């Protein structure tokens, strides 16, 4: 019994401490996961960005909710770029993601940090603060896309 409990405890510890990439059985699953996560981030960030640009009326509560969601989601895709997940489903990941992993990580961390600033700005309810933070997030999205996202989907 004691041994079983120790095994269970060890397994549980392993499950929480393994990198997120290890949760995917197949490359296809990792690609679906990261694409889904990026889509959700874009949807929630997009709602705030639309308010910041005047394309949508400003609603402080909706801005705060969407910024909080985008910030919560921001780091998720980066656990799904494990080695070997370049193929499996059509995707736009450039090889540099794995060749220059440190630079890719820095770009991801930058987006996560900017999204955290947007979350904080939206919590204040100030449209001016939101506008500035949206600019920071947008720049971090674009910077990473320029370097690491291909124009076309792979086959």
Q: Which residues bind ligand ASC (CB under 6 A)?
A: 42, 45-46, 49, 138, 141-142
Query: In this complex, which beta carbon is closest to ligand ASC, that of residue 33 or of residue 45?
Result: 45
State in angstroms the smallest separation of the CB of 42 from ligand ASC.
3
**Which of 95, 76, 72, 71 shows the shortest CA–CA distance to 84?**
95
Dihedral class, residue 51 (left if φ above 0, else alpha if ψ from -120 to 50, else beta)? alpha
State in angstroms the smallest separation of the CB of 59 from ligand ASC.
18
Longest dimension (CA), the chain: 63
Query: In this complex, which beta carbon is closest to ligand ASC, that of residue 24 or of residue 148?
Result: 148
Coil vs helix vs strand at 149:
strand
Direct distance between the N- and C-terminal alpha carbons of the chain, in angstroms, rounded to an integer: 51
State in angstroms the smallest separation of the CB of 99 from ligand ASC.
22
State in angstroms the smallest separation of the CB of 118 from ligand ASC.
12
**Percentage helix, strand, coil for the chain under 3-state DSSP, each rounded to 5:** 75, 0, 25
Query: In this complex, which beta carbon is closest to ligand ASC, that of residue 42 or of residue 60?
Result: 42
Query: In this complex, which beta carbon is closest to ligand ASC, that of residue 36 or of residue 138?
Result: 138
State in angstroms the smallest separation of the CB of 4 from ligand ASC.
48
Tokens 């990580």 locate to: 105
Query: In this complex, which beta carbon is closest to ligand ASC, that of residue 48 or of residue 80?
Result: 48
**Residue partners of 42: CB distance under 8 A and separation at least 6:** none
């Amino acid at each position: 019994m004691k041994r079983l409990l120790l095994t269970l405890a060890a397994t549980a510890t392993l499950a929480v401490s393994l990198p997120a990439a290890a949760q995917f059985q197949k490359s296809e699953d990792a690609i679906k996961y990261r694409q889904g996560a990026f889509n959700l981030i874009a949807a929630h960030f997009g709602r705030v960005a639309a308010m910041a640009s005047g394309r949508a009326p400003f609603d402080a509560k909706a801005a705060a909710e969407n910024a909080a969601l985008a910030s919560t989601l921001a780091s998720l895709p980066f656990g799904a770029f494990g080695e070997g997940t370049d193929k499996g489903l059509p995707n736009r990941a450039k090889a540099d993601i794995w060749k220059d992993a440190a630079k890719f990580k820095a770009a991801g961390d930058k987006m996560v940090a900017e999204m955290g600033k947007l979350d904080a700005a939206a919590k204040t309810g100030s449209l001016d603060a939101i506008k500035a933070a949206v600019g920071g997030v947008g720049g971090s999205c674009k910077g990473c896309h320029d370097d690491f996202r291909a124009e076309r989907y792979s086959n």
